[in-house]
Structure formats: structure tokens, C-alpha cells
A = this chain, B = another copy of it.
Amino acid sequence: MAPQYAPSMRSRLAPLLLFLQMGFILVYFFYVDIERHSDRKKIFIYYYSEFQDVHVMVVLGCGFLATFLVRYSFSGAGFTLLVAAMAVQWAVILNGVESLYHRGKIWINMRSLLVAELCTASSLIAIGAVLGKTNPVHLLLIALVEVSGFVLNGWILQTFLQVRFLNTIMLLHIFGAFFGLTLTRVYRRAFEQQHEKEKIDRKTGLFSLMGTLFLWMFWPSLNSVLLGLDHPDFERSLSAIYSTYLALAVSAVTAAGFSVLTSPQGKLNLFHIQRCTLAGGVAIGVAMPAVHLPWVAMIIGFAAALTSTLGSRYIKPLMLFTFDCHDTCGVLSVHGLPGVMGWMVHLLLQISESKDLTMAARFAAFHICTLLITVSLSMILGVITGFLLKWNILRPPQDKNCFDDQAFWEFPHLAVKK
């Protein structure tokens, strides 16, 4: 309730939102149209419910996963909605540039909206690393840059390395995580000590767990829906559903097991249950093209949860104290490491399957280049964005205003005593 240390956002946020929005409407006026008379209408309707699952994951799942901070829960969910609403419009434009060049129009259909949601998911992962330390103007800029970078990365990989589109899109976890990680390192030194407001309470923990459950339940849709839209025989789509389902089940059990095993008190850690249970979905999403057997999916789920739990327990503090890199939502251990692990499994499986050594070497070379380009591009853009955010004109919040809704939200009717 102290307006003095919460500088008005009127002169920054409102113009940014409204000018960007009017700009988008102008672009849509000239270049974008709804696809009609498509021969895929039936497929689009079949997959609408899976599209909705992904929509729920992005808006509600990511949004409520970010409510865990006790004094920052409105911002967590509210800014996610805001960023998603903006980033989706931007991603539709960027993904349509090629179609605009060749066919004169950007077409909106179920698939283009879905791809836009996935790009948005990538930017929300990046935002997880700086959650609570930024203002909404920052978050919008991050989202716009990250989505642009991610689309550019996909275009580079498709054009120069002939990577298939479906494989580039699943790099969203890796791209988002490394972008966020360098961003948070450059943008802001870690706090001297645990920030007094970076706390959870029982109720925000439950809201966050609700976000987790929606992500966990609907992840099979995330990994299968694009396959389904592009391969209308349903077989690959169903296979992706079953594999992801199994990987997530194993992932939840494993994360709990290692959480207890590595705990000094021998107890479950809420953070691990909220996030590391999802690692299986990340890893199998990246490795999907090479996964054909249920036990492989389960091994991936096991390894991903192991990586993620150990990462959260040991690498997260290491990053904080050694590299001065404060990662609010632990995106490195939840998206980065499991993503890279999935990439490695894909490599190993593909090599072990190929009968021809030259083919295997060729695949390995391309596959390694894919990762290198993705990681490099994401880190370079993360650094640039980090410096951009330090810019004083954007008014980065002071330390004492971090992790606090008060800086951004009016609370006129708030009951005084909780």
C-alpha cells in the first residue's frame, strides 16, 4: 500500500500495449486473412479439442504455475495472459512471412494458431527465469524478441540444415530455457541473500500445483497435435499420445523418488513435484521422432526426471552462487537440461537404428549443428535482451519492489487484514 515506491506504468506500459496492438491490427488489415475452402477443415475440427488442450496449457498451465510466489501471484497469472495474448498475434505474423512472400497473404487456420501458441510457450519459458524481477514492459519486450528469435532459429534450421518443421518446433524448450538463463544473468545480479518476498505459502503452492496438473494432464496433446494435423492417418499422433502419457507417469514417480532421496530431511520437495514431474514431457517431446517403443518412452521419462530433480537440487544453487544467475522458476533444470537430454536420446536412437555408418555420421553432424545453432542463437539473443532490459528508460524495478504485486496492481477493495 505504498504508492511511493511503485512508479506509475502509465507512461510506459499503456502506450506500448496500445500502439503495438494498433500496429498489429494494421498488419492484419493488410496481410492476414482467414483460410477458407481448405480441404483440411475436417482435420481441423477433429483436432480442435487438442488445440484447446494446448491453449489451456499455455494460458492456464503456465499462468498458474507462475502464481507460486505469495506476493506475486496476480502478476504471475495476469502477465502470462497479457504476454500470451500479445505474443500469439506476433507469432502468427512471423510464421506467415514465408506464405506472405509466396502467396501474398498470411493465412489463419488451426495449424497457424497452434504454431503461434507453441512459439508463445517458448517465450513463457524464458520469462520464467526472470519472473518477479521485471515489469510488464520488460516481459512484453522479452516475449517479442524471444518469439522472433525462435522463429528465426526454426527458419535457419529448416533452410540450411533441412531439419523438418516438426523437429524445429519442439526445440522450444531448449531455446526458451537458454534464452531465459543468459537473460537473467545479464539483466540482473542475484540478490545478496534470499529475497524476503521470494516466498510461497500453502495456498499459492496449491494454485501452482493446479497449473502443474493441467500441464501434466494435457502434455500428450502438446506432443501429438502437430503430428496429427500434418499426418492425417492418426497413427503417429496416437503413438505420440501414448509415449508422452507413459513418460509423464514415470516422470512423476521418479521425480518424487529422487526428491525424497536427495532431501536432507527425507521429505518431498514441493518445487520438484510442481516442476520436475513435467520433465518427461519435455524430453520426449524433443526425442519424439525416434521413439517407437513404450519402454523407451519410460526410460526417457525416468532419465528426464532424474536430471531435472538433481538439477533443481544441486545445479540451481550452483548457478546462483557460482555464476550469480538467479533463475526464479528453475527453467534450466525443468526445460533446459531435459530438453538437451531428449536431444541426446534422439541422436543415440537414430544412430543405433541406422544401418549405414555414413548416414549415421551425417545425421549426427546435422543433429549436433541443430543444437549448437539453437543454443548459440538463444544465448546471444538472451544477452542482447538482457542489456536492453537494464536500460533505465524501461524502469527496472528496484530490489525491494521485486516479487511484489503492489508495484503493478491497484488493490482498492482488498480486505485489509487478509
Contact = CB atoms under 8 A, between A and B. Distances in A.
A234 B35 CA distance: 12
Contacts of A204: 206
B267 A18 contact: no
A42 B234 contact: yes
Contacts of A44: 234, 238
Interface residues of A, number: 125
B413 A199 contact: yes
Nearest to A256: B82
Interface in A197-227: 198-207, 209-210, 213-214, 216-218, 221
A418 interface: yes
A88 B250 CA distance: 10
Given A42-B234, A249-B88, A270-B74, A21 B410 contact: no
Contact of A10 (B29, B261, B410, B412): B261
A329 interface: no
B273 A81 contact: yes
Contacts of A256: 13, 17, 82, 136
A263 interface: yes
A336 interface: no
A302 B25 CA distance: 9
A401 interface: no
Oligomer: number of copies = 3
Interface string A24-62: 110011001110110001101110111011011001100
A110 B238 contact: yes
Contacts of A202: 73-74, 405, 414, 418
Contact of A45 (B53, B203, B205, B238): B238
B85 A249 contact: yes
Interface stretch (A291-299, A364-372, A378-386): A291-299
Contacts of A241: 48, 110
Given A14-B257, A25-B299, A239 B34 contact: yes
Contacts of A295: 25, 28-29, 32
A197 to B, nearest CB: 9
B299 A206 contact: no
A17 B309 CA distance: 15
A74 B205 contact: yes
A9 B268 CA distance: 9
A216 B277 CA distance: 27
Given A48-B50, A250-B21, A261-B10, A269 B410 contact: yes
A307 interface: no
30 contacts: A6-B265, A7-B266, A9-B260, A9-B267, A14-B266, A22-B302, A24-B298, A34-B239, A34-B293, A44-B238, A45-B228, A45-B234, A45-B237, A48-B241, A59-B216, A60-B213, A70-B418, A77-B206, A81-B277, A86-B253, A89-B250, A108-B242, A108-B246, A109-B238, A200-B413, A201-B414, A201-B418, A204-B206, A265-B410, A267-B408
Given A41-B233, A74-B202, A268-B409, 14 more contacts: A17-B257, A18-B258, A29-B295, A41-B235, A45-B234, A45-B237, A52-B221, A70-B415, A78-B209, A81-B213, A82-B256, A108-B294, A109-B242, A269-B409
